[in-house]
Amino acid sequence: MNVAEVVRAALAEDVGPGDVTADALFSPGVAARAEIRLKEAGVVCGLDAVEEVFAQLDQSVRFERLAAEGERIDAVPAAIARLEGPARALLTGERTALNLLGRLCGVATLTRSFVDAVEGTGAVILDTRKTTPGLRALEKEAVRCGGGRNHRLGLHDAILVKDNHLALLGGIDGAVERLRAARPDLPVEIEADTLDQVREALAAGAERILLDNMPPAGLAEAVRLAAGRATLEASGGVSLQTVREIAETGVDFISAGALTHSARALDVSMEVLP
């Protein structure tokens, strides 16, 4: 789902057949000006969505960006966009625009904290599929704004053999060959809960191994066992308190569902200007 589709669905949910308050109080000819403000320090993300909200409500709304996507702002409150156009459109779109903006700024800001925490280690911070239904494309863009990298957009664009796949298969043996036969264009990633599974995945020729909920000592040993034969991704229970220690084990990637499922929305507002 792209930005326009997300916004269309959000407006349908919030506005429905019309804004009874704004429509009753203001005639179509009444104009207004407003600022979108970031009220706490963080990373800006979501201005594309904000602009789309007002464009869908009224094409005559003028939208001026005062900050760039991915920009870190510490001196707050700060104006990050200005609007000018019909008062009805500005007032009707306010909540939908702010809901999207606050959410996406929150994801980008939390991601930047994770990225900063592993600086200098060489580890790359990845997101997961633990996203808000319907908002995945926007939340993954917010991860990129925060300096992280997208792992996979969905089940359709990358192979990842999880523990439940392996439980049904009875083990790793044969899985890599079957996957390569079906999709030779995609690298094979296998989830491993133990070092024995790491050895099995390496023997099977997996290009990437997801190390699930392993302690730092186990991660370091997996790095030693792989010796560059496969890239390694640490996952499970990753937090800001633990991510640096995980990165220092030498893994290539660290995936954190918290980037999207636990990000707190930043405080943003729209203020009408005189």
List the catalytic residues.
Answer: 95, 130, 162, 191, 212
Q: What type of residue sits at position 172?
A: I
Question: Could you tell me the CA-to-CA distances from 212 to 133, 235, 252 in Å, in that order?
Answer: 24, 5, 14
Q: Please state, in angstroms and rounded to a whole number, the distance separating the CA atoms of residues 198 and 232.
A: 10
- For residue 64, how far is the Cα from the chain centroid? 25
Helix boundaries (H) for 16-125: 20-25, 47-57, 87-117
3-state secondary structure (DSSP) of residue 45: coil
Residue 253 has phi, psi (to 5 degrees) of: -135, 150
DSSP string of 206-265, one letter each residue: -SEEEEES--HHHHHHHHHHHTTSSEEEEESS--TTTHHHHHTTT-SEEE-THHHHSPPP
Q: Cβ-count burial of 228 within 10 angstroms (0-12 exposed, 13-18 middle, 19+ buried)?
A: exposed
